[in-house]
């Protein structure tokens, strides 16, 4: 099977070339990400992708103002040099205003912070608990916890 990126024409959204050229030097995002436990990231970025409560969001410079509740999933910050910082996140809020993006996250982890063995054990325990939840609330809590654990393992 051919490389998926090779199947897209030059300048397609798959490689972000069109967007990069469209915004050019028109802006950089000032991104601040914090959790109750610690600061997560504070710096300049070209792009931020994040899991909102109702789906994935991509934030580029000159994005319209926005406030969104966050869900459980990956967050990726593309820095000015093209490298990325990747996180697993769970809950919180995102605010976009002008070129500033503020992200308040309930929980966040990087790949280096994830203890794979412990996370896999917790995932097995959560999956077992999902077989016989005691209430609808417990079922929803377990589903959220399972997503959080799976996102950490996917880093």
Across the chain, mean pLDDT equals 88
- For the chain, the structural domain boundaries read 27-111, 114-154
Which top CATH class is 27-111? mainly beta
> At 150, phi and psi to the nearest 5?
-65, -40
**What's the DSSP call for residue 6?**
G
Under a CB-based contact definition with an 8 Å cutoff, are residues 91 and 107 in contact? Answer: yes
Q: Are strands 29-34 and 39-52 parallel, antiparallel or unpaired?
A: antiparallel
Check pLDDT > 90 for residue 14.
no
Q: Are strands 100-109 and 55-59 parallel, antiparallel or unpaired?
A: unpaired
Longest dimension (CA), the chain: 55
What's the pLDDT tens digit per position in 33-72? Answer: 999 999 999 999 999 999 999 999 999 998 999 999 999 9
Q: Is the pTM of this model over 0.75?
A: yes
Give, in order, the Cα–Cα distances in Å from 73 to each of 11, 67, 83, 107, 126.
28, 18, 20, 11, 17
The CA distance from 130 to 83, in Å, is: 38
């Amino acid at each position: 099977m051919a490389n998926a990126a090779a199947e897209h024409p030059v300048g397609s959204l798959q490689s972000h070339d069109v967007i990069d050229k469209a915004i050019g030097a028109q802006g950089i995002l000032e991104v601040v990400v914090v959790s109750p436990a610690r600061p997560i990231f504070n710096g300049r970025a070209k792009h931020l992708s994040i899991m909102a409560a109702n789906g994935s969001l991509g934030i580029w410079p000159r994005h319209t103002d926005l406030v969104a509740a966050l869900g459980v999933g990956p967050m990726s910050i593309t820095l000015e040099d093209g490298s990325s910082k990747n996180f697993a996140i769970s809950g919180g809020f995102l605010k976009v205003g002008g070129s500033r993006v503020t992200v308040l996250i309930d929980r966040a982890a990087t790949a280096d912070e994830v203890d794979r063995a412990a996370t896999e054990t917790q995932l097995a325990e959560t999956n077992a608990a999902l077989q016989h939840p005691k209430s609808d609330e417990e079922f929803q809590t377990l589903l959220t916890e399972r997503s959080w654990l799976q996102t950490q393992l996917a880093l």
